[in-house]
Chain A
Amino acid sequence: GENVEQHPSTLSVQEGDSAVIKCTYSDSASNYFPWYKQELGKGPQLIIDIRSNVGEKKDQRIAVTLNKTAKHFSLHITETQPEDSAVYFCAASKAQAGTALIFGKGTTLSVSS
């Protein structure tokens, strides 16, 4: 089955800096890659996703890139703000096959002002 590795497990940046979180997946048939943000005491919330027919997607300060050949994808947050502090999860699935999302172990991002 699918296995998703996520790095780093913790990341500390200064406000205004960029943050990058990387994930690799094992199943070459996976074609849907979402990112979730989890704040303390809440459930994970979808922030951006990308499908395998696209190499990059942006939404304001966040972007995701996908390298299908290397089977890895990354989340980029620019101009970080204290409210970006949270746990971020990547995930992978095979959309057409109707499978469940398999998650990485998460990255705790701390943005200090």
Chain B
Amino acid sequence: DAGVIQSPRHEVTEMGQEVTLRCKPISGHDYLFWYRQTMMRGLELLIYFNNNVPIDDSGMPEDRFSAKMPNASFSTLKIQPSEPRDSAVYFCASSLLGGGPAFFGQGTRLTVV
């Protein structure tokens, strides 16, 4: 398996624009997680899914953030409208078991100018 695949690797956008980040989890993994990494706050859990169903979205910072998982092999994280403070590295991870080992993608570095 190629591991968790995220796209794009880098995204630069202007404030106010819509941004969509994409993730393909490891095949057979039932859990998918979205994390955000910044220097100040470290790795923050945004939302996670089990069998395509959102389980906990309490980490989503604002209504501008939304995430979907339409099927077992694809998830999106959308920010609309984007703001400069959303600049961060966004990671997707997947896990066979909830609470067990999670495997991370390479991340998407988002810059909002």
Give the interface of A toward B (CB within 8 A).
31-32, 34, 36, 41-46, 49, 89, 93-106
Contact = CB atoms under 8 A, between A and B. Distances in A.
B31 A98 contact: yes
Nearest to B30: A98
B107 A43 contact: yes
B100 interface: yes
Given A44-B43, A106-B43, A96 B99 contact: yes
B105 A43 contact: yes
Contact of A95 (B33, B35, B99): B99
A101 B99 contact: yes
A95 B41 CA distance: 24
Interface of B: 4, 31, 33, 35, 41-43, 45, 48, 50, 55-56, 91, 93, 97-107
Contacts, number: 68
Dominant SS among interface residues on chain B? strand
Contacts of B106: 41-43
Nearest to A97: B99
A98 to B, nearest CB: 3
A6 to B, nearest CB: 8
